[in-house]
Structure formats: C-alpha cells, structure tokens
Amino acid sequence: MEIIQVNELSKKAYQIRKLTLELLCEAKSGHTGGSLSEADILSVLYFSKMNIDPAKPDWEDRDRFILSKGHACPALYATLALKGYFPLESLSTLRKLGSKLQGHPDMKRTLGIDISTGSLGQGLSAGLGMALASRLLKKQNRIYVLLGCGELQEGQVWEAAMAAAHYKAANLTAIIDYNRLQIDGSNSEVMELSPLADKWRSFGWKVIEIDGHNIEQIVNAFEEAKQTVDCPSVIIAKTVKGKGVSFIENQVGWHGRVPTKEELAKALIELDERMKTL
C-alpha cells in the first residue's frame, strides 16, 4: 500500500476524532472512549474499503456497515458527514430534540445508517440476516459489523457466531474493537473474554488479529477477509480506548463522559500535533 494513501486514511481518522470530540462537547453527553478507539477502522472502511456512494444511500448493491456498539455513533456520524452523507454543520444537533442524529443510530432518521442499533449484542445477527439476504438475491454486497469487546458478553453474539458459521456466511466480516475496557472496569475485571481468538476459531470463523490503529494492517485484514470464501471472518483489532488524546486514553471513566470546553481545546491541540507527525 502506498504511504500517501496510508497517511491520508490516518489523517481522516484524526479528523473523525476531532469532529467527534467537538460534537460530544456540544451535545454535553455521549460516549467518548469507544468513539475514539474505532476511528481508524471507520476511516479505512468508509474512505477505502466499502463500496458505497453517499449520493445514493439506498443503493441496493452498496456494502453495509452495522455499528453494533451503537453508543459509539458520534465517530460514525463524523465519518458519514466527512464522507458527504449530510452537512458537517448538522453534527452540532447531536442528541438534541428533533435532531436527525439520535443518541444511538436510527436508520429512519439518518442517511447512511444501514440499521438502527443501541441495544448491544444484536448487530451481528442483523449482519447475518443481511449476508443471507444478499446471497439469496445473488448480490455481491459485503457486510461489516463493528462490535465492542464488552459487547461480546451478550449470549446473542454467540448465537449469531454459530449461525453465521453454519450458513458459511463468507460475505460477513465482524470487527472487534478490542480496547479491553467497558463500563464497570476492564473485561478481565467484569467478565473475562480470553482466549478470544480461540473462541471465534472454535465457532468456525476465520480469525485475523491486528493492531486496530495501524492503517496498513486494517486494510490488509479486510483484504484477507474478502479472500476468505468458505466461512465468515472476524478481525480482532487491538485498540486503545480514547485513542489519540493522552488524558482520555485507557481511562475507564471516559466511556460515557464528554470533554468540557477546556478539555476539548487541549485535546484538539494534541490531535493536531499528532496529525503533523504523520
């Protein structure tokens, strides 16, 4: 992959992070940590991998994206705005009465949202439904589902994992934002997940383990998933919750709090500096 393209995608991820913090500060509530950790994955999907056209959000042959960890939608809204689904200005309406941008993604209100989410543990099932539908209709769509790691404690995820392998849904790719934190603490403190890769393997999935902030690895992982034709793939992306802002990184308390104006100013300076080093 060319260095220029990698840098471009990294830069987009930083733009996503900056916008995310701005809109969270404006909304005065929302989920910061898990939005920042998924930014690089969103950047690669929306600006490189997915076959989509913001001018035709209902285009049948488009690839689908499901944010199963729906609470982290601020970063998705920022991504969709940057991609051109709606104007950047509308981001400031997040979580306000009458807004198209609900606290959790709403497919009926927001262009570019392929299915409503917010209740954890269901996105993979919906993704499987899309994958099966696409196959039945003889289409080529790829279906991407981004899950949180704490979310994997939901039993339904494993119902879907079992079913997707049974139906050999190779057009389905799950990505786990493996930042190791949830609300009450780390995964290990709340409910142990390891050995995570083994769990997925034993369910019949192709497992691809990567650094979820390394653009090249993310791109290659999606390529590898695409080449896998006999089973669904899961990309276990090791990430840092709150990635990009030192005082937010790895802090469990930053799951559901938002920056004050002062914190926002500090965070934006840091993100700009990091962006310059690309």
Partner 1 sequence: MKDLLSSRVAYGKSLVELGKTNPKVVVLDADLSKATQTVQFSEEFPERFFDMGIAEQNMMSCAAGMATFGLIPFVSTFAVFASMRAVEQIRNFIAYPKLNVKIVATHAGVEVGQDGATHQAIEDIAILRAIPNMVVIAPADWVSTKKAVQAIAEYQGPVYMRVGRSDHEPVYQSDFKFEIGKSVQLRSGKDLTIIAIGNMVSKALSVAEELSKLGFSIRVIDMHTVKPLDETAVIDAAKETKGIITVEDHTIIGGLGSAVSETLSSYNLAPVIRIGIQDRFGQSGIGDELLDYYGLSVSNIVDQSLEILK
Residue type, 22: E
Q: Does residue 116 touch ligand TPP according to CB under 6 A? A: no
Tokens of 46: 């929306």
Is there a cis peptide before residue 195, judged by omega within 30 degrees of 0? Answer: yes
Cβ proximity to partner 1: between 36 and 160 the closer is 160
Backbone angles phi, psi at 70, to 5 degrees: -60, -25
Minimum CB separation from ligand TPP for residue 2, in Å? 30
Q: Residues binding ligand TPP: what is the number (CB under 6 A)?
A: 21
Which one of partner 1, ligand TPP, none interacts with residue 17, CB within 5 to 8 A by kind? none
Residues near partner 1 (CB under 8 A): 60, 64, 66, 106-108, 114-116, 118-119, 122-123, 125-134, 136-137, 155-156, 159-160, 162-163, 166-167
Q: Does residue 145 touch ligand TPP according to CB under 6 A? A: no
Minimum CB separation from partner 1 for residue 116, in Å? 4
Minimum CB separation from partner 1 for residue 168, in Å? 13
| Distance separating alpha carbons of residues 178 and 197, to the nearest angstrom | 11
**Binder of ligand TPP out of 120, 174, 193, 236 (CB under 6 A):** 120
Would you say how long the chain is, in residues?
278
| Distance separating alpha carbons of residues 18 and 155, to the nearest angstrom | 34
Tokens of 97: 């009465």
Q: Whose CA is closest to 156, among 190, 188, 181, 120?
A: 120
Residue type, 94: L
Q: Does residue 106 touch ligand TPP according to CB under 6 A? A: no
Tokens of 75: 């970063």
| Distance separating alpha carbons of residues 191 and 151, to the nearest angstrom | 11
| Contacting range for ligand TPP; rule: CB under 6 A; set: 67-75, 201-209, 225-233, 243-251 | 67-75
> Contact letters (x/-) for ligand TPP, 205-244, by CB under 6 A?
------------------------------------x---
Outline where DSSP puts E strands in 63-110: 64-67
Q: Does residue 71 touch ligand TPP according to CB under 6 A? A: yes
Which one of partner 1, ligand TPP, none interacts with residue 181, CB within 5 to 8 A by kind? ligand TPP
CA 225 to chain CA mean position, Å: 16
| Distance separating alpha carbons of residues 28 and 71, to the nearest angstrom | 14
Residue ranges that bind ligand TPP, judged by CB under 6 A: 33-34, 37, 69, 71-72, 118-121, 148-151, 177, 179, 181-183, 241, 255
